[in-house]
Structure 1
Amino acid sequence: MSSILDSLPGLVDFSQKSLLLSAGAIAFNPTFWNIVARREYRTKFLTRIFGGNSQAACYALAATIFSLGLLRDFLYERALRDQPSHPALQGPLPTAAAYVLLAFGNILVLSSTWQLGITGTFLGDYFGILMDSMVTGFPFNVTNAPMYYGSTMSFLGTALLFGKPAGIFLTGVVLVVYLVAIQFENPFTAGIYAKRERERAKASGMKSNAKKVQGKKEL
């Protein structure tokens, strides 16, 4: 491990500002949407801005997240162009691996978006826009975070396509950031749906009791 770390400065040019900007954008995006979405869940500030229309507020956040993603991808590509290439990452095998990673990564991202829809993909749960039931089909039968892992695969595929060790380093940053985000997002989202189920069970119990009372009155 120490030998890898010792050789890293020769493979990655850490003096490039574009590298730091890319790493910053990678870390910023999930931090931003988690903070904003949790504040929305607790205060409904975005919904209030949009006149009580939670659907419009969710779409506005979705557009913002998507735009930030485009900026992040642009900064990543610019960072790679400023970095040295390495012969081990060039040639037919790395190129083939790059296209395979890009293909599978995009399949995971696009299929999960198709399954969840726009509001399901872009944190609609935090706006009170809940899905009827948990999605268990592909790609969620492969991984519980297909969008995050698919995005990570696309980052790695791009790194190999450019032949840049810095891309592999930044892919590591992507993976760490997403793994941290998963630890915050999954329990919180599960709690939102658990709360709905408790409310449904309570409402069902009240309805059942009302029927019993009505039945007794009729007797």
Structure 2
Amino acid sequence: MMMGVCKLAVLLCLICLPVSSGSIIDRLFRRREVTGRPEFCGSYQCPNFTVVSAGEDYELRQYEPTTWVATARGNGWFSTFYMYMRLVKYTVRGYNSLELRMPMTVPIVTKISTTAPEEMMFMLPEDRQKDPPMPTNALVYIVKMPALKVYVRTFGGFASDSDYDNEILALKSSLGSDNQYEQNVAYKVGYNSPFTWFNRHNEVWLVAA
């Protein structure tokens, strides 16, 4: 019951998420460099990547180094909502050292690890990648993500935690050998506002070994 209330609260409060007209990943992007903004990013800034190769139901992407703002999950039913709101305050509301309000970007990434607390991350806008304002909340911090090669599986709909978990398992099954990806980390990736009803775009990432 309380978990349902928590999810409803998050849904109603994600008003700052961008509304995207994105769709399931177009196969035209496969096996070539993505020279423009992918359709599933809509009109919002998103990280640049190159598609290295593709399988039947996944692809291997090479992402450029990027700067993100992040926060770790705490305890309690509303921890996802609190993570989200801390990051919204830092970016959209300007709770940072420069009191600078920044636009939303996509995707919203949740990193899950067997060795560290779950983290939620927003990519910083292009003009703040090299010079991010410092957070004023001690629970919020800047993350410099190095160049990253990830296996990506795409799926649609309104994704729940269990949906993401099932898609991670499906991606692992498609890859087969455990030595192709790092065992202790995975990423849950969302691109859409809760008010986007159709053509939703979700992803799961596994870091290539």
TM range (shorter): under 0.3
Indicate the structure (1 or 2) with the bigger Cα radius of gyration: 1
Normalising to structure 2: TM-score of the pair?
0.26
